[in-house]
Amino acid sequence: MDFSRLQASSKIGDDWVYPQPPCLNFGWLEVDLDPAHRIYWEEYGNPAGEPVMFLHGGPGGACAPAMARFFDPKRYRVILFDQRGCGKSEPNVASAGPAVALAKNTTADLIGDIEKLRDHLAITGAMHVFGGSWGSTLAMAYAIAHPAHCASLILRGIFLGAAEDLDYLYQGNAATWEVDRYALTAPGAYIKYPEEWAALLTVLTPGERGDVMASYKAIFDMVPTTAAETERQLAAAVTWSLWEGVISNMIPETADTGKFGEADFALCFAQIEAHYFANQLFIPAGHFFEHIATLATIPVHIVHGRFDEVCPLTQASRLVAALRAAGSEPAAYVVTNAGHSAMERENALALTAVMDGLAATAT
């Protein structure tokens, strides 16, 4: 029996509003010394347009040219950059190793990098800050630190990074999985993705599944001394990366996992994420809610997939409730019939519509 026609991709495909714009400029900017971090950046769209700072997800996800397609290239000046340790930024976790690439790699460092990139590109006024998933987290942290530099926040797939949010994604029923892998002993993304969950847990021993994130972090922190240890470390990174990559789509594309199954990307993505998650994202608990009054002074636009299993909709709900309690209705709050990925059709079209509808700002 042929069921292939039943599963159509939920990705944007050929339905983008705007064509792929050419890259106008690119370069590396030295942002730190010892180690000498250099971040890679690209510029798209209108050089005299309203500036948009694009913050990619992960942490460790890196940018791609297609991320410039959310924006009207005649109106916006779009800046993409790879955050420390990933993509084309240097040192890179995959090439230089975590001991070097994760040194001086914290949320405060990334906020500082955004400021240095603003200065380098001569952005003097307020800019639109656009971020999804971890990018939404970093966007809010940046806005709290530099509210005057934010004309608006455009946030997709809100990620607050609380312990319960991480447990939903990485812990679930892991502690009891060996006894009954289909028991619904705790909430979690595993409920909708049991095969992918099995792959994530099979890397670990039963004893290691009591704390999945800590156990993976221990594997990533290991300095391999044998071929078997090297193989286990790489397999763990790819498995971690594939778990998030596959479940980011409402309709998983297991036959084409893209960059998430590539060794170099997976090593950066997995090890940087584990580094940040083990350190509570380098953000104090309750930070966004303690500073909600600051966020409430900025127009906040939110797009969130109803079927998002990486960052469940409850995270957007908590943020929206806090903004309303602070007396500020979100400038836009769109719940799409989509999953987590920005490249899902409904998310991509909603984000483009938000950008098209923004009030013009001075350039």
| Residue numbers annotated as active site | 133, 308, 340
Specify the residue for token string 């990307």: 265
- The Cα 139–Cα 132 span in angstroms is 9
Cα angle, residue 195 at apex, residues 193 and 198 outer, rounded to 5°: 105
- The Cα 56–Cα 136 span in angstroms is 8
How far CA 320 is from CA of 77, 134, 286, in Å, comes to 28, 17, 15
- The Cα 4–Cα 10 span in angstroms is 14
Instruction: Work out whether strand 150-156 and strand 23-30 pair parallel, antiparallel, or are unpaired.
Output: unpaired
- The Cα 134–Cα 44 span in angstroms is 22
Three-state SS letters, the chain: CCCHHHCCCCECCCCCCCCCCCEEEEEEEECCCCCCCEEEEEEEECCCCEEEEEECCCCCCCCCHHHHHHCCCCCEEEEEECCCCCCCCECCHHHHCHHHHCCCCCHHHHHHHHHHHHHHCCCCCCEEEEEECHHHHHHHHHHHHCHHHEEEEEEECCCCCCHHHHHHHHCCCHHHCCCCCCCCCCCCHHHCCHHHHHHHHHCCCHHHHHHHHHHHHHHHHCCCCCHHHHHHHHHHHHHHHHHHHHHCCCCCCCCCCHHHHCHHHHHHHHHHHHHHHHCHHHCCCCHHHHCHHHHCCCCEEEEEECCCCCCCHHHHHHHHHHHHHCCCCCCEEEEECCCCCCCEHHHHHHHHHHHHHCCCCCC
